[in-house]
A = this chain, B = another copy of it.
Amino acid sequence: MKISLGAKAFAYPTPVFVIGSYDEKGKANAMVAAWGGICSSDPVCITVSVREARQTYKNICLKKAFTVSIPNEDNLKEADYFGIYSGKNTDKFAETGLTPIKSDLVDAPYIKEFPLIIECKLIKTVELGVHTQFIGEVVDIKCDREVTGDNGLPEIEKVRPVTYDPVLKRYYGIGRYLGKAFSIGKKD
């Protein structure tokens, strides 16, 4: 017998995505978003949801581009900072000491110090009440060489991404390896 909790924004896991964008003067901004994820394999697309009041909302509408920078455990404090303060009255990069790098492919900045970044051009905007869902086509993934393995692909144990628990508003690391997908459930 399950207990009912009502219509809550509860799911596990949710990501800690830091969305990078430029305003009309080219000032780099970043905000943290847990409402988002990959939404298509071909073309590869990713979604992020943003409230209209945010500077990031204006920036994405203007530039039709954004990036997603994925923090690791070591730069989680800076990511959290990006979720607390507004880019309207602060220079978030100056405050955190992080470095915005202009993407060579889209008109948006990514965060140099974060291990994995996703460059997106806006292809759809979906209005959903208090949030607007921006759907970006992924034009490139970039990562630090140090987080890749022998096959040249990122390894999650090296990236050390984080997850957000929306129920109790806490961050967690990624835990132990549990098995290979499309494999451990096979019937003999």
Where the two chains meet, the residues of A that have a C-beta atom closer than 8 Å to any C-beta of B are 1-15, 17, 34-47, 49, 68, 70, 73, 76-85, 95, 116-118, 124, 126, 128-131, 133, 135, 137-145, 148, 152-156, 159, 161-187
Contact = CB atoms under 8 A, between A and B. Distances in A.
B7 A128 contact: no
B156 A12 contact: yes
Given A49-B39, A153-B167, A7 B44 contact: yes
B10 A118 contact: yes
Given A2-B144, A3-B145, A175 B172 contact: yes
B13 A13 contact: yes
B178 A7 contact: no
27 contacts: A2-B142, A3-B142, A4-B142, A6-B141, A7-B140, A8-B138, A9-B41, A9-B138, A10-B116, A11-B70, A11-B118, A13-B174, A14-B38, A15-B37, A35-B40, A37-B37, A37-B47, A39-B126, A47-B47, A76-B185, A85-B187, A124-B126, A162-B178, A170-B177, A170-B180, A172-B175, A173-B178
A11 B37 contact: yes
B175 A45 contact: no
Contact of A174 (B77, B140, B175): B175
Given A13-B163, A174-B174, A185-B84, A133 B44 contact: no
A171 B17 CA distance: 20
A94 B44 CA distance: 34
Nearest to A81: B185
B141 A7 contact: yes
A37 B154 CA distance: 22
